[in-house]
Amino acid sequence: MHFRTSIDNRIQQVKMPENLAVGMMVRAQREKCQDLQCPFDYYSFAFGESPFQVPRELSQALADHSTTGGYTEPGGIEQLKSAAADFYNRYFGLNVEAERMIIGPGTKSLFYMVFSMLAGEYIIPVPSWIGYTPQLDLLGRKWHTLELLSENQYKLQPMQLEQFLDAHPGTAFTLILNNPHNPTGQVYSEGELEALAAVCRSYRVAVLSDEIYALTTYDFCNYSSMAALYPEGTLLTGGLSKDRSSGGYRLGVLVLPEECPEELRFGLEKIAATIYTNVTTPIQHAAITAYSESSGNDRYLHTTRSIHKLIGQKLSERFANIPGIKTTRPNGGFYFLTDFNEFKENMLKKGINSANELGKALIAHPHHIAVVTGDALVVPPDNYSARIAFVDYDGPTAYEEYLSNPPVTEKDKEIFFTNHASRMLEGAEALEQFIGKLS
Minimum distance between the CB of residue 333 and ligand PLP, rounded to whole angstroms?
Answer: 8
Q: Which is nearer to ligand PLP, 48 or 51 (CB)?
A: 48
106 binds ligand PLP (CB under 6 A): yes
217 binds ligand PLP (CB under 6 A): no
Q: Which is nearer to ligand PLP, 180 or 407 (CB)?
A: 180
Cβ–Cβ < 8 Å for 264, 132: no
**Interaction mask 353-392, ligand PLP, x per CB under 6 A:** ----------------------------------------
Minimum distance between the CB of residue 272 and ligand PLP, rounded to whole angstroms?
Answer: 15
Residue selected from 239, 282, 330, 427 as contacting ligand PLP according to rule CB under 6 A:
239
79: helix, coil or strand? helix
51 binds ligand PLP (CB under 6 A): no
240: helix, coil or strand? coil
H-run or E-run covering 125: strand 121-126
247 binds ligand PLP (CB under 6 A): yes
123: helix, coil or strand? strand
Minimum distance between the CB of residue 246 and ligand PLP, rounded to whole angstroms?
Answer: 9
Query: Cα angle vertex 409, ends 403, 411, to 5°?
Result: 105
Cβ–Cβ < 8 Å for 102, 235: no
188 binds ligand PLP (CB under 6 A): no
* Contacts to ligand PLP from residues 16-35, by CB under 6 A: none
Q: Which is nearer to ligand PLP, 308 or 413 (CB)?
A: 308
Length of the chain: 439
Strand partners, 103: 253
252 binds ligand PLP (CB under 6 A): yes
Minimum distance between the CB of residue 107 and ligand PLP, rounded to whole angstroms?
Answer: 3
Query: Cα angle vertex 307, ends 387, 379, to 5°?
Result: 10
Q: How far is CA 202 from the centre of its chain?
A: 28
Minimum distance between the CB of residue 100 and ligand PLP, rounded to whole angstroms?
Answer: 18
- Helix axis angle, 355-363 relative to 18-35, nearest 10°? 40
Half-sphere exposure of 290 (CA within 13 A, CB side): 29
Report the alpha-carbon distance of residue 36 to residue 188 in Å, rounded.
47
**φ, ψ for residue 145 (rounded to 5)?**
-110, 150
Minimum distance between the CB of residue 389 and ligand PLP, rounded to whole angstroms?
Answer: 10
Q: Which is nearer to ligand PLP, 127 or 407 (CB)?
A: 127
241 binds ligand PLP (CB under 6 A): yes
H-run or E-run covering 305: helix 295-320
135 binds ligand PLP (CB under 6 A): no
Q: Which is nearer to ligand PLP, 92 or 434 (CB)?
A: 92
Burial annotation 305-341 (CB, 10 A radius, 16+ → b, else e) = bbbbbbbbbbbbebbeebeebebbebbbbbbbbbbbb
131 binds ligand PLP (CB under 6 A): yes
What is the per-residue DSSP string for 172-225? Answer: -EEEEEESS-TTT-----HHHHHHHHHHHHHHT-EEEEE-TTGGG-TTGGG---
327 binds ligand PLP (CB under 6 A): no
178 binds ligand PLP (CB under 6 A): yes
45 binds ligand PLP (CB under 6 A): no
Minimum distance between the CB of residue 436 and ligand PLP, rounded to whole angstroms?
Answer: 32
Range in contact with ligand PLP (rule: CB under 6 A) among 103-111, 222-230, 321-329, 413-421: 103-111
185 binds ligand PLP (CB under 6 A): no
Interface residues with ligand PLP (CB under 6 A) are 48, 106-108, 129, 131, 178, 182, 210, 212, 239, 241, 247, 252
